[in-house]
Structure 1
Amino acid sequence: MTVQELTGALSLTVYHLEAPDRPVTSGYAGDLLSWVLGRAERDCAWLTIMSNQNVAAVALMAEAACVVLTEGVAPDGELLRRAAEKGVNLLGTELDTFTAAHRLAGMLSP
């Protein structure tokens, strides 16, 4: 599945879409940035409620395919700027984190 396909399947809001064809191979849900950095898999869809500029840096270092802000959280201006600057796919949903993770898992399961 690609980031673009994920965006359509979950009706995600696009905040920044640098690489729509990037593959999504797993998911990760977490809000503690240092924890995410050490545990998220490359090419994951990272689900979080964190919306500050550090999210873009962690997504870049963790090599996440995209960040999905859950629970209706909107990115702050600095996160939008950093996502565009660093080429981070940044998306959003009104779904709570559990529901978004459950739907993502269902789409990624064989």
Structure 2
Amino acid sequence: MKLSELVEKCELRVITSLPLETDISDAYIGDLLSDVMGNAPSESIWLTVQSHMNILAVATIVGARAIVLCNGLHFEEATIKKAEETGVVLLESDETTFNLALKLLKSGLKG
């Protein structure tokens, strides 16, 4: 499924100015960076409440296509700037992580 479809169906706010036509094949939920590094599938969308710059390195290592910051939280400016440099799409949602995961499933993403 295209990331742009998920953004529209799940009402996600796009934070970075990067293309959204990448394919998303899975999702992962995690806030412990070592857990995400060890378990997140590539080509996934990652749901978290972490907003610091270290998440970009983790996303790059595992091949996550986008990071969604849940619970109405906002990314730090330094993280946004670095994400645009590294090509990681940042998204935000007012939904809880659980509710957003349900929306992703209902929108057709196969986990």
Q: TM-score, normalised by structure 2?
A: 0.93
CA–CA distance in structure 1, aligned partners of residues 2 and 17 of structure 2: 12
Counterpart residue type for residue 78 of structure 2: E
State, as a whole percentage, how many aligned pairs show the same letter: 34
Q: What stretches of structure 2 of length at least 5 have no aligned partner?
A: none
Partner of 2:9: 9
Q: What stretches of structure 1 of length at least 5 have no aligned partner?
A: none
Counterpart residue type for residue 97 of structure 2: T
Displacement of 1:17 in angstroms is 4.1
Partner of 1:79: 79
Runs ≥4 in structure 1, deviation > 6 angstroms? none
Paired residues of 1:27 and 1:105 also in contact (CA < 8 A): no
Q: TM-score, normalised by structure 1?
A: 0.94
Paired residue total: 110
Paired residues of 1:16 and 1:80 also in contact (CA < 8 A): yes
Counterpart residue type for residue 5 of structure 1: E
Aligned-CA RMSD value: 1.4
Counterpart residue type for residue 73 of structure 2: V
Partner of 2:104: 104
Relative distance call for 1:17 and 1:23 in structure 2 (3 A) is farther
